[in-house]
Amino acid sequence: MGADKMRAFLAFLCLWVAVTEAGYVKYKDPKQPLNARIKDLMNRMTLEEKIGQMTQIERKVASPDVMKQFFIGSVLSGGGSVPAPKASAADWVNMVNDIQKGSLSTRLGIPMIYGIDAVHGHNNVYKATIFPHNVGLGVTRDPELLKRIGAATALEVRATGIPYAFAPCIAVCRDPRWGRCYESYSEDHKIVQSMTEIIPGLQGDLPANSNKGVPFVAGKTKVAACAKHFVGDGGTVRGIDENNTIIDYKGLLNIHMPAYFDSVKKGVATVMVSYSSWNGNKMHSNRDLVTGFLKGKLKFRGFVISDWQGIDRITNPPHMNYSYSVQAGVLAGIDMIMVPENFQEFINSLTLLVKNKVIPMSRIDDAVRRILRVKFVMGLFENPLSDLSLANQLGSQEHRELAREAVRKSLVLLKNGKVAKYPLLPLPKKAPKILVAGTHADNLGYQCGGWTIEWQGVQGNDLTAGTTILAAIKKTVDPSTQVVYSENPDENFVKNSGFSHAIVVVGEVPYAEMFGDSTNLSIADPGPSTIKNVCGAMKCVVVVVSGRPVVLEPYVAQIDAVVAAWLPGSEGQGVADVLFGDYGFSGKLARTWFKSVDQLPMNVGDAHYDPLYPFGFGITTQPRHG
């Protein structure tokens, strides 16, 4: 080779090496160790890009341009926030991908993470499977069932292109007057701890050699989970939402904290902070517990997220001194802020606080490191966009069967026969004529409760796909049996129509936080008069559809059988399966059923414990064969 050729070859070689090196970016290489990828990416990031990662905004204010301009790290759908009414899986996937493309077009191409409240199945989404709320699932005392529900929920969430679910709620509800009590598995922390098995269902099983506290998400069929709300959300005074949990440190650790030990041990990716206070101190500004305990003592390595406008509520009234709220929340150890709408104000406030050295760069780096760790671990850099390959998982028959099984196992039989030796249940499938009554018998929305399609829930039967309890009864009885439905029949009709027996389905109407707190815990009108008119005249079973124990004592004597069905979700067939004896009753109360609200709070082990039905109570029956 001549000298000129040699020089040209060497020049080409140098150019080739330079181009190859420019093309190779360490953080984009999945073969590199996790920490090397995080470090490489963080070394390239500006303050603006880091603060963007810490910002979570609502989809209503998100767009590809916004993602690109502000380097936004996360987007969420609040309750009922959907791309279109009755949106399909494709509508969701297209919306999420559209926003994601904005993130991928930034200088560093860091993918955003999209989150949604999938708290009992993928509950915002039309035609998704709606599982029973947690209050019912706690009754099953079946961690393996919870794991399967987690896996099914993850598939349905991923079917819509979403990789992050704000679940499970691991609150220990100590007072049913709290409007979120149905989001709690039990008043007993041991049951709540066992139900954290939903986390490996959602995220996948932790590999055997995992370090304690390191988040884990097993790829494209799983989602990042979120243990919430840290900590003591279920212990507020009189069950008032977002209020003050008054308890000593030992009590906090013994009752409200144990499920966090389990969640962190199972590799939960994120933890959400509670609106509530502990002994007067807002959790959103509690550095000792968020940084000291959760990150320090429990070695949690995922990211900590605020609740919706959670930092705003550090002050009273909310948003009174926003700069202080940002400072207090971020210094407490919150890594990602669910802003969720006025994000420029948040970005500007945090930027100023860092530039003025009120918040040290080390705190920002800790937050971003944690957020990137979750994104890398779950494979978001390799697979930032979704497709429609899982669309058939949304509301699939297999998931509906699983939900139906969960309904069967969550029912609690509280009374069976006015005299025990003459039980009413299981009911015969063959009877000439039966009455079905009550506001909740033919109302899918009531059956599903809050956090279903809309934030506060909805009423009626056109909200989504499912089976009402009435439809299930009609499907279960013998074709020769006449089923008559009357929502609120009068006494004469009941007495004179020749019914063999009646099924009365009554309870609470849907609610979620802020609107769900109740001081009287009564069955919604006209439920009490329906019970009186029907059960006063004939043999009846009352099925109670509610998010918590409600006042029953005044009616129990005139009722033959009582079933607590909680909020069973979309698969009402599970109720009929057990009423008519295809399966036996197996559920045991995971909450104390009080006699009167004056007794509250009253939990198992209390000195003044005098319940109508004690914690752990439940009459069991055998399936009727043949």
Q: Are strands 303-305 and 337-338 parallel, antiparallel or unpaired?
A: unpaired
Region class of 507: left (phi > 0), else alpha (psi between -120 and 50), else beta:
left
> Quick one: how far is CA 57 from the chain centroid?
19
Q: Are strands 303-305 and 281-282 parallel, antiparallel or unpaired?
A: unpaired
Region class of 161: left (phi > 0), else alpha (psi between -120 and 50), else beta:
left
Q: Write out the two tokens for 368.
A: 């971003």
Please state, in angstroms and rounded to a whole number, the distance separating the CA atoms of residues 20 and 599: 73
The sheet with strand 270-273 has its strands ordered as 226-230, 270-273, 303-305
Neighbour-count burial of 498, counting CB atoms closer than 10 A to its CB (0-12 exposed, 13-18 middle, 19+ buried): exposed
* DSSP character at residue 270: E
Q: Write out the two tokens for 501.
A: 């027996």
The alpha carbon dihedral of 373, 376, 162, 200 has a sign of negative
Please state, in angstroms and rounded to a whole number, the distance separating the CA atoms of residues 140 and 407: 9
Please state, in angstroms and rounded to a whole number, the distance separating the CA atoms of residues 476 and 483: 11
CA nearest neighbour of 52 among 102, 117, 116? 102
Residues 526, 532, 534, 536, Cα dihedral to 10°: 180
Q: Measured in Å, how far apart are the chain's first and last C-alpha atoms?
A: 93
Find the catalytic residue in 262, 307, 454, 560: 307
Contact, 515 vs 456, CB < 8 A?
A: yes
Please state, in angstroms and rounded to a whole number, the distance separating the CA atoms of residues 27 and 382: 11
Question: Which residues, in sequence order, are bridge partners of residue 164?
Answer: 115, 224
Q: Are strands 501-507 and 433-437 parallel, antiparallel or unpaired?
A: parallel
Find the catalytic residue in 117, 156, 187, 513: 513
Q: Write out the two tokens for 493.
A: 């009709």
Question: Which residues, in sequence order, are bridge partners of residue 75?
Answer: 57, 114
Question: Taking every pair of C-alpha atoms in the chain, what is the biggest distance, in angstroms?
Answer: 114
**Could you identify the residue written with the tokens 């559809």?**
545
- Known active-site residue 233: no
- Known active-site residue 401: no
What is the gyration radius of the CA atoms in the chain, in angstroms?
A: 27
The verdict on whether omega for the bond into residue 64 sits within 30 degrees of 0, i.e. cis, is no
Alpha helices in 120-210 (DSSP H): 134-140, 143-159, 189-195, 198-203
Region class of 223: left (phi > 0), else alpha (psi between -120 and 50), else beta:
beta
Q: Write out the two tokens for 599.
A: 């007794």
Please state, in angstroms and rounded to a whole number, the distance separating the CA atoms of residues 261 and 170: 11
Residues designated catalytic: 307, 513
